[in-house]
Amino acid sequence: MTLPHPTADQISLPNVLAVLGDPTRLAIVRYLASKEGVPLNCSQFLDLGSKTNLSYHLAKLREAGVTRAEVVGTSRLITLRRDDLDARFPGLLDSVIAATVNDTALPAVGAPEIEIRA
Amino acid sequence: MTLPHPTADQISLPNVLAVLGDPTRLAIVRYLASKEGVPLNCSQFLDLGSKTNLSYHLAKLREAGVTRAEVVGTSRLITLRRDDLDARFPGLLDSVIAATVNDTALPAVGAPEIEIRA
DNA sequence: TCAATTGTTCAATAACTTTTGAACTAAGGA
DNA sequence: TCCTTAGTTCAAAAGTTATTGAACAATTGA
């Protein structure tokens, strides 16, 4: 069982930008980048939304060519397609990730959705 | 008469990416970048859509902080907000523009919408 | 003043996106 | 085998975006 991914040359710039233009998906990409090398499964993003909703956003990222998902047992190990994105759009992913790092308005993995009173 | 623009720190990354994730708007940005220094008015983009539709897309770009529009007579002179975008998101605009340059799938100013037979 | 030029606004519609819960599949462990 | 875990699919609802044409406003030049 493998999931459908676009080939490197099928990755479209407007589509990548549109897919990244969503706070939840940008938060997923930021977290993937912060753990680069460590493949993550879907449930590690549950802070960002419901299981169903994450399935939707992760499919969008995969179909746009931003992430790769490898099926391992009942898990999907998700990684950034840094190699292909860098080849296709040099510097784009790095500048997007760098910009997300300081973005306090983005949702975050490991952060409560609602601020608990201090 | 001036038009509303976000201040530099009001420019939001997800919003900029979402706004750039549209082929018409990306084509506008590519054309602006190719003529950088030369302020353009709306009618110079008419190859990309109807007057009404361009007004809509140019407003989206302006409201996201991607472009600046200066009212001069009955015209609006449109420029890229390169300074503010570079300060906020270093390298992002350059990598997006570089990626648009080779993108033959994008609509283009000065190109016929339908290929005339050779 | 009148007409032309430039661009906006409005309302309608069509098309897409996001979110949800319930039902489902597939693998792995007891 | 049965249960649990991991994630998908489906249909519905809600919300958002893009596109259109008609009407409008403001400036400029004749």
Each residue's pLDDT expressed in tens, for chain B with a length of 118 residues: 688 999 999 999 999 999 999 999 999 999 999 999 898 999 999 999 999 999 999 999 999 999 999 999 999 999 999 999 999 999 999 999 999 998 999 999 986 544 433 3
Q: Which residues 77-106 on chain A approach chain B with CB closer than 8 angstroms?
A: 88-92, 94-96, 98-100, 103, 105-106
Report yes or no on A1 lying in a domain: no
B43 touches strand D (CB under 7 A): no
Q: Give the count of domains, chain B.
A: 1
Report yes or no on B1 lying in a domain: no
CATH of the domain at B51: 1.10.10.10
Cα separation, A90 vs A84, whole angstroms: 10
Q: Which amino acid is at B106?
A: L
A53 touches strand C (CB under 7 A): yes
Cα separation, A3 vs A26, whole angstroms: 21
B29 touches chain A (CB under 8 A): no
Interchain CB contacts (distance < 8 Å): A and B: 83
Cα separation, A17 vs B95, whole angstroms: 12
Report yes or no on A2 lying in a domain: no
- Say how many C-beta atoms besides its own lie within 10 A of residue A105's C-beta: 8
Q: What is the pLDDT at residue A113?
A: 42
Cα separation, A57 vs A46, whole angstroms: 12
Instruction: Looking at the complex, report in whole angstroms how far the Cα of residue B49 sits from the nearest Cα belonging to chain A.
Output: 17
**Which stretch of A32-36, A99-103, B1-5, B30-34 has the lowest confidence by average pLDDT?**
B1-5
Report yes or no on A39 lying in a domain: yes
- In order of A11, A33, B62, B97, the CA distances from B105 in angstroms are 12, 29, 24, 14
B48, B28 contact by CB (below 8 A): yes
Report yes or no on A3 lying in a domain: no
pTM higher than 0.85 for the full model? yes
Q: Which amino acid is at B44?
A: Q
Domain extent for B31: 10-101
Residue carrying structure tokens 């976000």: B6
Report yes or no on B110 lying in a domain: no
Report yes or no on A110 lying in a domain: no
Report yes or no on B106 lying in a domain: no
CA angle (B28 as vertex; B23, B34 as ends), nearest 5? 120
- In order of A24, A56, A105, B71, B84, the CA distances from B81 in angstroms are 26, 34, 22, 16, 6
